[in-house]
Structure 1
Amino acid sequence: MRLLISFAALFLAVVLLQLGSGGVAPLDAISGASLGFSTEQLGLLGSAHFFGFFIGCWWAPRLMGSVGHSRAFAAFTAAGTIGILAHMLIVDPLAWSVMRMASGLCVAGCYTIIEAWLQDKVTNATRARAMGVYRVVDIAGSLGAQLMIGVLEPASYVSYNLLALLCCCAIFPLTLTRSEAPPSMVAARDASCF
């Protein structure tokens, strides 16, 4: 139990990140349809998210190795927040695709960092319990994001702003925790983050 309490900051960051970034995909689909985007353009938004996700998976270990876990988490969260906030500034399917790439980058990067942090702190005896609680927290945050879609107005600045605020709040638990971050490790192939 003591170990799980020590992960409270990580778990809170996961919930906030899921609430913010998890609602973007369904809100984009509903908003895009209400703005007259074609089905191909809506499909492009989903594909762009996973392209950003791919980049995030590649870049996260390199950035984590060069600047540390907390700073890398803050950088990825900032990218996702910017991507969410920009939606109502530029209403264009191609621009939204770039913003969704930022969202995918954020999700992949942040989850890579959180899971690396967890894996560094657990032992073989506590791994299953810690990862089980982590998955429950993650899925609960995802469910909360999906339920929020029912009350968020499509194509609204307020809706996207609320998601961006939640995503941005995910920075606080990890950057302000007293728990020591794992030591920075050089990425396997390349220590350079660019």
Structure 2
Amino acid sequence: MRMLISFAALFLSVILLQLSTGGVGPLDALSGLSLNFTTAQIGLLGSAHFMGFFIGCWWAPRLMGSVGHSRAFAAFTATGAIGLLAHMLIINPYAWAVMRIASGLCVAGSYTVIEAWLQAKITNKTRGRTMGTYRMADMGASMLAQLMIGVLEPASYVSYNLLAILCCAALLPLTLTKARQPETPDAPRLRPGLALKCSPLAVFGVVVAAVSSASFRI
């Protein structure tokens, strides 16, 4: 229990971040419909999110290795907030796609930092309980984010500003925690070819799961 309490700041950051980033996908879809975007243009927004996610997965370990966990988290969260705030400045599906790249980058980068922090601090004895609590916080906030869509008006400054506020608020618990951040490792290089060589079946399973779930998840 003491171990979980020590991670309370990280879990709170996860909840606030997921309340923000978990709502932008459905809000963008509803906003696109109200603004007469085509189905293909709305689909482009989801694809752009995952493009940003891919970039974040590649870049996050390098940035974290260069500047540390807290600064990397701040950089990725700020990127997500900028993308949210820019939505109502330019009403254009292709401009929104660029903003969704920023949101995908934010999600991948921020979660890489948080999970790296957790993995560096826990042991095999506490791993299951800690990661289970982390996923409960993550998925619980994701469910609440979907419910928020019922009260957020599509294509509204207020709606996107609220999500941006939650994104910025996610900075506070992690950056102000008194817990010592893990030692900064050397920045590893993303090596998908090595994963394919070690376990082709696992890579195939990940690809199939991604293709089948991404179309309705974001």
What's the offset of the Cα at 1:147? 0.5
Q: What is the rounded CA distance, in whole Å, between the counterparts of 1:5 and 1:103 in structure 2?
A: 29
1:161-180 maps to which residues of 2 (within 5 A)?
A: 161-180=161-180
TM (norm. structure 1) is 0.97
Please list every run of 5 or more consecutive structure 1 residues that lacks an aligned counterpart in the other structure. Answer: none
Q: Secondary structure of the residue that 2:167 maps to in structure 1?
A: helix
> Which contiguous aligned blocks of 4+ residues in structure 1 show a shift greater than 6 angstroms?
none
For residues 96-153 of structure 1, what are the alpha-carbon distances to aligned partners after superposition, in whole Å with 9 as ceiling and x for unaligned?
0000000000000000000000000000100000000000000011011100000000
Q: What letter matches 1:21 in structure 2?
A: T
For residues 42-75 of structure 1, give each alpha carbon's deviation from its aligned partner in whole angstroms, at most 9, with x where no partner exists.
Answer: 0000000000000000000000000000000000
Structure 1: distance between partners of 2:149 and 2:188: 40
Q: 1-side partners of 2:104 and 2:189: how far apart?
A: 23
Distance in 2 of aligned mates of 1:129 and 1:10: 15
> Counterpart of 2:82 in structure 1: which amino acid?
I
Question: How many angstroms apart in 1 are the aligned matches of 2:117 and 2:12?
Answer: 14
Q: Distance in 1 between matches of 2:133 and 2:48?
A: 30
State the alpha-carbon separation in 1 of the partners of residues 42 and 64 from structure 2: 32
Residues in 2 aligned to 1:48 and 1:71: alpha-carbon distance in whole angstroms: 25
Q: Distance in 2 between matches of 1:93 and 1:5?
A: 43
> Number of matched residues?
190
Superposed CA RMSD in Å reads 0.8
Query: Whole-Å Cα distance in 2 between the matches of residues 188 and 152 of structure 1?
Result: 40
Q: What is the percent sequence identity of the aligned residues?
A: 74
The separation in 2 between residues aligned to 1:189 and 1:122, in whole angstroms, is 23
Q: Counterpart in 2 of 1:137?
A: 137
Match of 2:210 in 1: none
Q: Which has the higher contact order (CA 8 A, sep 6+)?
A: 1
Shift of 1:187: 1.3
**Residue 9 of structure 1 aligns with which residue?**
9
- For residues 110-125 of structure 1, the aligned pairs below 5 Å read 110-125=110-125
The match for 1:60 is: 60
Separation in structure 1 between the aligned mates of residue 156 and residue 65 of structure 2, nearest angstrom: 38
